[in-house]
Chain A
Amino acid sequence: MIKSILIANRGEIAIRICRTAKRMGIKTYVIRTAKEPNAVYLDFADKVIDFPETDGTVPEFLDIDNLVKLAVDNKVQAMHPGYGYLSENADFAQKCTDAGIKFVGPPAKLIKDMGDKIIAKEIAAKNGVPMLQGSEGSVKDVKEGVKIAKKIGYPVIIKAASGGGGRGMRIVHKQSEMEQMFHAASSEAQSAFGDPSVFIEKYLENPKHIEFQVVADAHGNVVHLGERECSVQRKHQKLLEEAPSSALDATLRNKMARVAVKLAKGAGYESLGTVEFLLDKNKNFYFMEMNTRIQVEHPITEAITGLDLVELQLRIASGEKLPIKQSDVKLNGWAIECRVNAEDVQANFTPSMGVIKQLRLPQGDNIRIDTGIVPGSEITPWFDSMIAKLIVHGKDRKQAIERTLSALERFYIKGVKTTIPFCKAVLHNASFCSGDFDTSFIETKLESLVYREPDEELMAALLALYQYTHETVPEVGPETGIDPWVLNRRIRNL
């Protein structure tokens, strides 16, 4: 078993990893950066390493050479990248391996292959995963794009080969838009990933986003842990997830799971991975991509399976066999995750910066909150806007929704605006509750982006009125003796 890990990440996920590692007796190292020297995650590790001073051009958690050097200098055995940052960077995984540090994740070659959307599609197709029609390999120019689109029919989607997180993606509805969209996707891909190559695929209008969690050890054993539905998204950013999905029955679940497992096996996958699918109205599913890291939304799978995914990651990284067989995996009840982002939903989800002045977290047996903030924490533009995750478990979907709503009502953050009122709006929405929703949900089904209690606006009006009327009244101190109202009345009655 690994004896020590360096966590090349921050915030809630660093804390999350520390918790499991500690329980397993693994010594944890985290990195202190000058941008948040008093961050909460630092308190959860056994050892805190100061990041060396650099010229600042490369953010700390993207600085491959310095991170590897810190691990070597501190004689740490393994590197956990968390999610985001370098978690899907093949170079980082390779440099860790070269330096004799175990990278917690799949081998570099697999990260590279799955990170290149074109190669990933080839691997998936070879292993029998249903695919959407599209270009074979990258598309070199607009002319070729037009030709392919003509063949497969509009709308089509242009995607960055090295993309992810919704960047470098453009939908083209008709030929006249092709030129602008092609250049936009390509230049965004260049600036975000340093690679301008793009490919074209048939665009599935309003699919559901369903992903399967798979876990594979180095000995060829692969197990799936069911699915998650992540259809509530805005600009391809997930905002609220649930497990399982109401769109799948047992037959379809088994079919999709078999495909996901077959892909992982065929690719020689190792560690935790997520196979993402698009599901259309007729319940046809297509390969989207495979993520080679732990996902933000992993806690909902933990809630319904009772497993600790970070523990599985660390065991696999230590060379152990999977401690579970497929028949051991039982999906129990329903779980929902709300992402609490420091964003102003009413101003088009713009980041909301500031200091957390107060924090009220709901508590209860079925509630889990993963967060890296406390009162006094500063929300800066340096880092991701996600500041907390609320995960609620129930016996079925209805109960999970009710419990999540009740938890959200008790969840309060003062100092920045958050997506809490948005999550409430989703959970109160009839289409969401009936399960009849897809990735167009926010644009088509949600009348208001924020939930308001029936007379909430009146209360706000009243509050403004209260302020107004009380400001214009002089304060009455005990030494003045006479109430100005009494005085006023007396004068009027003279």
Chain B
Amino acid sequence: MTTKKPSNTNKLIALNSDTNAEYEFSVRNNYEYRYNRCPIRIDLVQEADGVNVLSCNGMRYPYEITQQSANTYSITLNGVSYNFSIETPFSLSRKRMLAAKAGISKKEVIKAPMPGKILDVFVAEGQTVGNGESLLVLEAMKMQNTIATHMKGTVTKVTVVPGKTVGKDDVLIEIKAEQ
């Protein structure tokens, strides 16, 4: 009888969805991790006061997983937030391909950075705007914030009027980039 060692090693990539930074790990038997060919071991402990702590390489960081769905994870580690998705080499290349496709028709969606009231809208649909041009004024916590665009293009959609109250992340204006 030949004894063949089972090869149960996968390549998995943790992709930072905000910065696109990639961390490639090789995973054996689902719990042995290697990064840059070095084995790496983490321990997750809940301490007496209920704080979750990740310890690795002698460092200890309090953490919290604030959201997870399918292969995406929102993590707060040491007070800093990270959004990661776990990808296989195949799913990552598919993701890249889709992103490249989407990049052709580039648009900017202006969302409300915080809940507040729209005081003034300076642009209308169809208007062309330059980089850094003021779009609208949002009042939040009694401060007036002027929101500007980060690209040159045409306003394709304006969903708000002065006086409207908006929630965080509500879409306010959409701009299509100049080709």
A: which residues have CB within 8 A of B? 166-167, 180, 184, 187-188, 191-192, 235, 344, 346-348, 350-351, 357-358, 360, 412-414, 417-418, 420-421, 450-453, 455-470, 472-473, 485, 488-489, 492-493
Contact = CB atoms under 8 A, between A and B. Distances in A.
B81 A344 contact: yes
A490 to B, nearest CB: 10
Interface in B40-88: 40, 42, 44, 49-51, 54, 56-57, 59, 61-65, 68, 71, 73, 75-82, 84-86
B10 to A, nearest CB: 9
Contact of A421 (B4, B51, B79, B84): B79
A469 B14 CA distance: 12
29 contacts: A187-B144, A348-B113, A358-B50, A358-B51, A413-B79, A414-B51, A417-B81, A453-B59, A453-B78, A456-B78, A458-B35, A459-B54, A459-B77, A460-B77, A461-B16, A461-B84, A462-B25, A463-B42, A463-B54, A463-B73, A464-B73, A464-B86, A465-B12, A466-B42, A468-B71, A468-B73, A469-B27, A493-B3, A493-B6
A386 B81 CA distance: 20
A257 to B, nearest CB: 33
B29 interface: yes
A453 B60 CA distance: 11
B33 A462 contact: yes
Interface in B6-34: 6, 8, 12, 14, 16, 21, 23, 25, 27, 29-31, 33
A13 to B, nearest CB: 19
B77 A463 contact: yes
A450 B80 contact: yes
Interface of B: 3-4, 6, 8, 12, 14, 16, 21, 23, 25, 27, 29-31, 33, 35, 40, 42, 44, 49-51, 54, 56-57, 59, 61-65, 68, 71, 73, 75-82, 84-86, 113-114, 119, 134, 137, 139, 141-144, 146, 168
Contacts of A451: 80
Contacts of A418: 79
Nearest to A460: B82
A69 B44 CA distance: 55
Contacts of B86: 464-465, 468
A414 B8 CA distance: 37
A489 B6 contact: yes
Contact of A469 (B21, B31, B44): B31
A452 B162 CA distance: 40
Contacts of A453: 59, 61, 78
Given A191-B142, A462-B42, A360 B59 contact: no
Contacts of B75: 460, 463-464
B139 to A, nearest CB: 7
Contact of A467 (B65, B80, B139): B65
B51 A466 contact: no
Contacts of B64: 414
Contacts of A351: 114, 141
Contact of B6 (A450, A469, A492): A492
B61 A473 contact: no
Which of A451, A458, A465, A466 lies at the interface centre, i.e. has the most chain B CB atoms within 10 A of its CB? A465
Contact of B14 (A346, A450, A464, A485): A464
Given A188-B143, A351-B141, 4 more contacts: A350-B113, A462-B35, A468-B71, A468-B73
Given A360-B49, A468-B12, A489-B6, A458 B80 contact: no
Nearest to B71: A468
B80 A465 contact: no
Contacts of B137: 184
A244 B44 CA distance: 42
Highest count of chain A CB atoms <10 Å: which of B25, B63, B81:
B81
B23 A417 contact: no
B89 to A, nearest CB: 14
**6 residue pairs, one from A and one from B, having the closest CB atoms:** A461-B14, A464-B84, A461-B23, A460-B82, A468-B86, A464-B73
A251 B147 CA distance: 45
Contact of A459 (B12, B59, B141): B59
B31, B62, B82, B168 — which one has the most chain A CB atoms within 10 A of its CB? Answer: B82
Given A167-B143, A358-B49, A417-B81, A465 B27 contact: yes
Nearest to A418: B79
A261 B6 CA distance: 82
B103 to A, nearest CB: 24
